[in-house]
Amino acid sequence: MHRNPWFTLVIGLMLGLVVGYVLAERQAVPPARALALGVGAAAAPADDLPDGHPPVEGQSAGTSQQLRQQVAEIEGLLNANPNDPKLMAAMGNVYFDASRWQEAQVWYERSLALAPDDVNVVTDLAVVHRNLGQAQRAVELLDRVIELDAGHWQAWYNKVVVYQFDLHEHEAAAAALRRLQQLKAGNPAIPDLSGLEREVLGS
């Protein structure tokens, strides 16, 4: 039977969109970011990137093209699913990884307007505020995470860093570190704390 080529094209595009969305939904949600040690300037571009992440300062043309492609892909999914907070958070993650903090803030806040108790998104938004020089707001958001999930180690880790390096409230940093040490005893996912302990406790 002869088929209209336009009909075939439309069906193919629809199937591609559905498959792409399903694959995106099945991907593991990235963990909330824990701030790196030794942070000085609040807006240092590579402070909060995962281990092994390429530098983003002075992005190459290839990196910029990759960013545009990622944004375009998520925009396409959002056109079909405009109220999906996971897709909004994914867009925030793309801008986060490019150290484009203001754009990341916009998308994380859109996501949280629909899913306000997503502790990983709140944690990443706190890091964004810290990198925008708004350390006190970062602490407020981290406290909100801890109210929702007292064992959220990234929130405690980030509180230590923000108190120690940004707000210079060393007693508060030490108190948050003690709680983080307690959590580490039962959570092998928490990284080695010896460097953080040396910075905060001088030991």
Residue ranges and CATH numbers for the domains of the chain are: 1-20+60-115 (1.25.40), 117-203 (1.25.40.10)
Given 3-state DSSP classes, what are the helix, strand and coil percentages for the chain, each rounded to the nearest 5?
65, 0, 35
> What's this model's pTM, rounded to 2 decimal places?
0.75
Distance CA(113)–CA(101), nearest Å, equals: 18
pLDDT, tens digit, for every residue of 124-173? 999 999 999 999 999 999 999 999 999 999 999 999 999 999 999 999 99
DSSP state of 52: T
Under 8 Å between Cβ of 158 and 35: yes
Distance CA(7)–CA(85), nearest Å, equals: 32
Region 36-48: mean pLDDT is 45
Of the pLDDT bands very low, low, confident and very high (cuts 50, 70, 90), residue 63 is confident
The confidence score (pLDDT) of residue 70 equals 95
pLDDT at 95 over 80: yes
Look up residue 158 and give its two tokens: 């980030």
Region 173-199: mean pLDDT is 96
pLDDT at 180 over 80: yes
What are the residues whose beta carbons fall under 8 Å from the beta carbon of 164, sequence distance 6 or more?
170, 173, 199, 200
pLDDT at 203 over 90: no
Distance CA(93)–CA(112), nearest Å, equals: 13
What are the residues whose beta carbons fall under 8 Å from the beta carbon of 200, sequence distance 6 or more?
160, 164, 170, 173, 174, 177
Closest CA to 105 of 140, 65, 132, 74: 132
